[in-house]
Structure 1
Amino acid sequence: MASTTAASRTRLLSSIFSSTTPRRSPPKPEHAPKAAAAEAGAKSNKAPQSLVPFAKVLKAILRQRDPDKLVSQFIAASTASPRFRHEHRVHEVTVARLASFGRQDAVEAIIDSQKPFLEGSGEGFAARLVRLYGRASMPSHAAETFFNLPPKHKTVTAFNALLTAYVDAGDFDALATAFKQIPDSHPTVVPSVCSYNILISALCQKPDLSAAVDVIPLMEKCGLTPNIISFKTLLNGFYNHGRLDDAEIVWDMMKERNVEPDAMCYNAELRGLVSEGRIEDAVALVERMQKDGPKPDTVSYNELIRGYLKEGRLDEAKKVYHDLVKNECTPNRGTFHTLVPRFVEAGDLDLAVSCCHEIFSRKWRKVDCSVLQGLVTALVAASRMEEAKRIIELGRNPAIVLERV
């Protein structure tokens, strides 16, 4: 029965991918030199990590800006401490920092240092190694890691991590190949609803969205029930491509299946309306949500702010910002990253500074450095040196990753 289902899935996938016929198997990179890993490993043997308090080890790594020292310290800590190997955040921050330096060799070194611990770890640990390569935009390394996993770790969790790595890299042909070939060659990998949602997300990057829509009946033929994320992803695809009228296809599919839309579904529509310059329609939609539900969330208000700012209506954007708080929503990174540059442009430095302090008080891990740079430059020009220095000092928090967006 399982083989019949797999064969059926393969035939249907071939139909869906007819416009994106894969020309190759998921790529495997040539084995890169491991000099960096060997050197880092040698250094790690010299560090008495077991004698250093765990919190101090973490702090030192999060503060480290030299990529070679970062690799050495990371490998030493990982070798000495099983607890460290399960600190997801420090792995994410380290890979993000090394990737920002363009040091793919260093990323490879620290992930390779984790592989000896695969046998004694769970599938989540294995999937994280695959996923970290995706974070660094190294999909071929993610594929190599997946194919070399111990058999017990070749699960749908690791498979989904590989698919996500391909999405992050924009390598949709490789994703199509992996989706068709891996489940057929690895019986332990049975695509889940999450797998198909990743597939929908990839297909929604293409102007022709018919293949993405076809994934819904494919899931159902394979005995799976599409969830709200399946339809939200489709809605985002249509609205992001400016196909507002055609998105009704998706709303009808949801209605037929008795799927109740949530705020994220309506936020997709709001994003489409704002992108088309239809701010009054966006306002009307939010008002309808306030009245009939689902209640607007922070993203809903962020879209209205973006729409008003797009039309140069800063006062209305400020009002929405204050309404956001009044309606018991919490500002997020998107709120401030959208507002701060406009406050700076308008010369409202007091409000811009207040927003930046709000960013740091919420301890977000990632901040767009251009937001801070623009404010600091404006403060210096206005001879507000102490405030500029304070913003720079806060931006040096080791727990914060400054991104160039």
Structure 2
Amino acid sequence: MTTISRFFRTFSTSATKSPVKSFYNDLYKERNLRTVVDNFKKLSESHLFRKQANVYDNTVRRLTAAKKHKWVEEILEDQKQYDDVSKEGFAVRLISLYGKSGMFDHARKLFDEMPERNCKQTVKSFNALLGARVNAKKFDGFEKFFKELPEKISVKPDIVSYNTAIKAFCEAGSFELAGSMFDEIRYNGLEPDLITFNTLLIGFYGNGRFLDGERFWDKLMNNDISPDIRTYNARLVGLVSVNKLNEAVELFEKLGSRNLKPDEFGYNAIIIGFCNNSDVEEAKKWYTKLVESDCVPNKATFATLIRFACKMCDFDWAVELFKQVLEQKCVVDPNVTQLVIDGLVKESRTEEAKKLVEIGKSSKFRRYNLIVASEE
């Protein structure tokens, strides 16, 4: 029985509590993307299937990752034949998916088609279009777009709209505009929320604008909003960026008293600080703390530490980190892991370098195209 026929038969069986679970597995295991597209279009004939937002999202992500934008267009344009597209929620889904694929022009076209499909444009679909523009990195003309479109379609931006605009300006490096959006929020009768502050703090602290970050940190502390772990991580990054490492460590150690559990991003910020200070002992200590916690080192952790270990000529540690990367199946830039191979060769440890190359080549995902260059 084919995936298609089994799917429709399963949906017609009322005793089945999770009718799409086996279908998900079949679709995701299908390696031929053309077949995935064909099956997706056929399955879309079922109104029950069209309710499965997750499978839409995952399928589009997969096609986008494979740079099959024509096929993304094919499956999303195919959805317009169904009455669901006259419902704002379904239209919003398609607009958002186009944005995640970097296809903003298609998202805008669908948004503009909504009235002729008897689908009212509200702030919900406006926000989806804003988000699509941000995801597609279409920042040119964003301010004009944000100010003129709501008036044209008679909607009033809400806090989600402003948060999206702030994110756009931060990602575009237009920090003055991001700050002005914050001022407009209260001017227009709204209140900033935690997402507003987190977006600003991540934008400012993460881009070397420490004083601006501190200004919004103080505003948050004077607001009736409880910071979360992302808020504190943003400030940790900021403190480390201006070499206020002692303050960063103090802030990190206070997280427990605030009922917040540190994550790998917070550990990474502290580790980067000690690496910047060339403090091998502390960098190793904080990496050990990370490993002993419930957190999992990510590619940023390994990239930072491997570069640092090689810089400090601590190749025993670099080799250990290299092996942990493979054990944890972590995707790290091959140029980073190549540093370990090159360092071992320079240290006349060529045989050990060759063994690491073989380990990398035989790893399950074969991600590392490593070579052992001549010592000369």
Query: Which residue is equivalent to 1:284?
Result: 250
Q: Does 1:381 align with 2:354?
A: yes
Partner of residue 90, structure 2: 125
User: 8 Å contact 2:267–2:286 — kept in the other structure?
Assistant: yes
**Offset of 1:303 from its aligned partner?**
1.5
* Corresponding residue of 1:34: none
Residue from 358, 364, 369 that aligns with 1:391: 364
Q: In structure 1, how many angstroms separate the alpha carbons of the residues matched to 2:74 and 2:280?
A: 48
Paired residue secondary structure (1:204): helix
Residue 151 of structure 2 corresponds to residue 184 of structure 1? yes
Q: Where does residue 51 of structure 1 map in the other structure? A: 6
Distance change in 2, residues 1:154/1:203 (3 Å): same
Identity, % of aligned pairs?
Answer: 31
Task: From 161, 168, 188, give the equivalent of 1:195.
Answer: 161
2:106 matches 1:141: yes
Runs of 4+ in 1 over 6 A off after TM superposition: 377-380
Higher relative contact order (CA 8 A, sep 6+): 1
Kept in 1: contact 2:3–2:26 (CA 8 A):
no
Structure-1 separation of matches of 2:230 and 2:90: 30
Over residues 23-69 of structure 1, what are the superposed CA-to-partner deviations in whole Å (9 max), with x where a residue is unaligned? xxxxxxxxxxxxxxxxxxxxxxxx77133565454334323444433
Normalised to the residue count of structure 2, the TM-score between the two structures is: 0.74
Task: Answer with 276-285 or 178-187: which moved more.
Answer: 276-285
Q: Which residue of 2 aligns with 1:175?
A: 142
Tell me the equivalent position of 2:373.
none
The size of the alignment, in residue pairs, is 338
| Cα distance in 1, alignment partners of residues 49 and 319 from structure 2 | 42
- Rounded Cα–Cα distance in structure 2 between residues aligned with 1:143 and 1:387: 45
User: Could you tell me how far 1:351 is from its partner in structure 2?
Assistant: 5.2
Measured in 2, the distance between the counterparts of 1:75 and 1:148 equals 21
Q: How does 1:77-88 map to 2 (within 5 A)?
A: 77-79=43-45, 81-88=46-53
Please give the alpha-carbon distance, in whole angstroms, between the structure 1 residues aligned to 2:4 and 2:222: 59
CA distance in 1, matches of 2:30, 2:335: 21
SS in 2 for 1:331: coil
Higher Rg of the two aligned structures: 2
Root mean square deviation of aligned Cα: 3.7
Separation in structure 2 between the aligned mates of residue 369 and residue 199 of structure 1, nearest angstrom: 32
Contact conserved, 1:133 with 1:141, CA < 8 A, in 2?
Answer: yes
Pick closer, same or farther for the CA change 1:207–1:390 going to 2, 3 Å: closer
- 1:317 maps to amino acid: A
Report the TM-score, using the length of structure 1 for normalisation.
0.69
1:218-297 to 2 correspondences below 5 Å: 218-290=184-256, 296-297=262-263
Q: Does 339-348 or 226-235 show the bigger shift?
A: 339-348
Per-residue Cα deviation, 1:254-279 (whole angstroms, up to 9, x for no partner):
24434343332221121123344554
1:156 aligns with 2:129: no
Query: Please, which runs of 5 or more residues in structure 1 have no aligned partner?
Result: 1-46, 360-366, 396-405
Q: 1:70 to 1:381 in 2, by over 3 A?
A: farther
Residue 102 of structure 1 pairs with residue 67 of structure 2: yes
Q: Tell me how far apart the structure 1 counterparts of residues 302 and 43 of structure 2 sit (CA, whole Å).
A: 35
Cα shift at 1:111: 0.9
Shift of 1:82: 3.5
